[in-house]
Amino acid sequence: MLHYILQTIAFQLFFLMVYDLFLKRETFFNWNRFYLLFTPIASLVLPLIKIEAFRNVLPQNYIVQLPAVILNPDASTVQTQLLPTVYLKNSSSFWSWEFILYVGIYVSAFIFIFKMFKLFKTINISEKNTASGLTIITLKNSSAAFSFFNYVFLGDAINPKNYQTILAHECVHKSQKHSADLLFFELLRILFWFNPLVYMYQNRMVTLHEYIADALVVKQQDKVTYYQNLLSQVFDVNHISFINPFFKQSLIKKRIIMLTKSKSKQIHLLKYAMLIPMVFAMLLYTSCDKEADNSESTEIQTSKDKIQEKIDKIMEENPNVKIKIIEEDSVIDDDIEVPYSVVEQVPIFPGCEDLPAAEQKGCFSGEISKFVGQNYNIDLATTLGLSGRQRINVLFKIDKSGNITGVRARAPHPKLEEEAIRVINELPKMIPGEQKGIAVTVPYSLPIVFEIKE
């Protein structure tokens, strides 16, 4: 979930930067409204879309290659010993980031409900009149002027000369359903209360709504008169984010500047075509994102398991055939690798050397599991926002000197891989395995399973 949230915020930031740099000064108000409604939705949806064809666009060296299996009686034998699975349970923290996220959602929802309650309470207790299809709510001892759907709130201290201008302005908000836009952003503010970009989106939409209403009203009135109405007085407006204020001090200057601005040339509509390559690039990124595609590692591991089954079957039917697994990036050296199942003397974990040979293997496996369980950072799952069962597959070797080498890991999240590699590299120096009195390298595979409480 954390990775999804970060992608969403990154996409919204990019969309807002494009809007501020290229679009917000244009007079294509309806196009800008579409942009401000479409892009936050696109930011939420795009990280969830995976297009297989886009993934194939990448060069082959960016694609994970399965090991090649070579059957050759003359090849030196390589076989990985599968150690017992290590199961880890995360320590549940009361103050996890998920807990804070949900608390914030509940608090934001409560604040929204409280504002709605105050608004409807005002409607119920105030004097009401009807004009131009609008319900006029008179506010006692107030100079406020704002609207919510077909409700227009006017303070009794407002100059009556401004009534018609305000009503014409608010009729535009009602007919174009501007309040629905703001409620949409209220929903985003509840779900993503921690994301400042949602608040920026809503502020830009409020400004755009005023531009749209002003542009339509001045077609029916003299511009100079309309300017004078805006500048005649600055009204106090209750701070409610989902209403359309007529007089708002921070917007008056912007509205006048936009009213005096020449109409944008039609050629500038081409700027909105930027959405196409932007969305395409984001789809390419999300489709090829390894971290977001948790199924990839599972499929690769399944394929490797099938390969191992085939290898075991071949060795049973042809005991004289030696099998070698070669990775594309492997380097052939002089070290001799002997499979765990046939090596005469297996590597020994420090402290297990005094046990009988029959018990040394069990001691080795037990100590490995104990070491990983004690040293793996089990709080990492909570930090990353993971849930359910997470499987980590680790490959490593104990070389002829007893050192841990060639550590690799595959997991649904890169941080889990990094932590697994770190822990395995910290294993103590082993007593190396021997074949015919010669120290040899022995490869191992260690599955680690995270049991994460929901």
Tell me the average pLDDT of the chain: 79
* 243 band by pLDDT with thresholds 50, 70 and 90: low
Q: What is the pLDDT of residues 180-213, one digit of tens each?
A: 999 999 999 999 999 999 999 999 999 999 999 8
Burial of 104 (0-12, 13-18, 19+ CB in 10 A): middle
Residues 307 and 337 in one domain: yes
pLDDT for the residue 3: 81
Measured distance CA(115)–CA(173) in Å, rounded = 20
How many Cα atoms occupy the beta-carbon half-sphere of 140 within 13 Å? 5
Distance CA 76, CA 67 (A): 16
206-229 pLDDT, tens digit each:
999 999 988 898 888 777 777 666
Kindly state whether residues 16 and 84 are assigned to the same domain: no
Same domain, residue pair 202 and 345: no
Task: Look at residue 108 and tell me if it is in a domain.
Answer: yes
Q: Are residues 439 and 307 in the same domain?
A: yes
Q: What's the confidence (pLDDT) of residue 263?
A: 87
15 in a structural domain: yes
Number of folded domains that form the chain: 2
Residue 446 pLDDT: 86
Same domain, 265 and 137: yes
* Residue at which a domain ends, from 266, 288, 310: 288
The pLDDT tens digits for 377-421 are 888 877 787 777 788 888 989 999 999 999 999 988 888 899 999
Q: What is the pLDDT of residue 177?
A: 93
Same structural domain, 348 and 284: no
Length of the chain: 454
Residue 401 located in a structural domain = yes
Give yes or no for a contact between 284 and 50, defined as CB atoms under 8 angstroms apart: no
Residue 244 gets which letter from DSSP? E
Q: Is the separation of the CB atoms in 381 and 408 below 8 Å?
A: no
pLDDT confidence tier of residue 89, bands split at 50, 70 and 90: low
**Type of residue at 319:** P
Indicate whether 190 and 310 sit together in one domain. Answer: no
pLDDT of amino acid 306: 56
Answer whether residue 191 is part of any domain. yes
The reported pLDDT for the residue numbered 373 is 85
Query: Domain range for residue 362?
Result: 65-89+293-452
> Is residue 277 situated within a structural domain?
yes
One domain for residues 75 and 9:
no
Q: CA torsion angle for 286, 288, 290, 293 (degrees, to 10)?
A: 60
Please say if the pLDDT value at position 17 is more than 90.
Answer: yes
Answer whether residue 80 shows pLDDT above 70: no
Closest listed residue to residue 246, CA positions, set 204, 208, 207, 210: 210
Same domain, 151 and 273: yes
Give the orientation angle of helix 196-217 with respect to helix 163-175, to 10 degrees: 120
Rounded Cα gap, residues 336 and 442, in angstroms = 9
If pLDDT is split at 50, 70 and 90, which confidence band does 285 have? confident
- Integer Cα distance of 38 and 278 in angstroms: 13
Q: Which among 247, 271, 288 is the end of a domain?
A: 288
Same domain, 341 and 228: no
Query: Residues 179, 149: contact at Cβ < 8 Å?
Result: yes
pTM (2 d.p.): 0.58
Nearest alpha-carbon partner for 419 in 81, 86, 101: 86
Question: What mean pLDDT comes out for the span 240-256?
Answer: 67
Q: Where a domain ends, among 268, 288, 308?
A: 288
Residue 132 lies in a domain: yes
**Residues 177 and 256 both lie in one domain:** yes
- Residue 151 and residue 169 in one domain: yes
Q: Which whole number is the average pLDDT over 163-187?
A: 91
Least confident of 337-341, 343-347, 393-397, 450-454: 450-454
Position 296 scores a pLDDT of 43
Q: Of 46-60, 281-295, 299-313, where does mean pLDDT reach its minimum?
A: 299-313
Between 15 and 131, whose confidence is greater? Answer: 15
Please indicate, yes or no, if residue 60 is contained in any of the structural domains: no
- Residue 129 located in a structural domain: yes
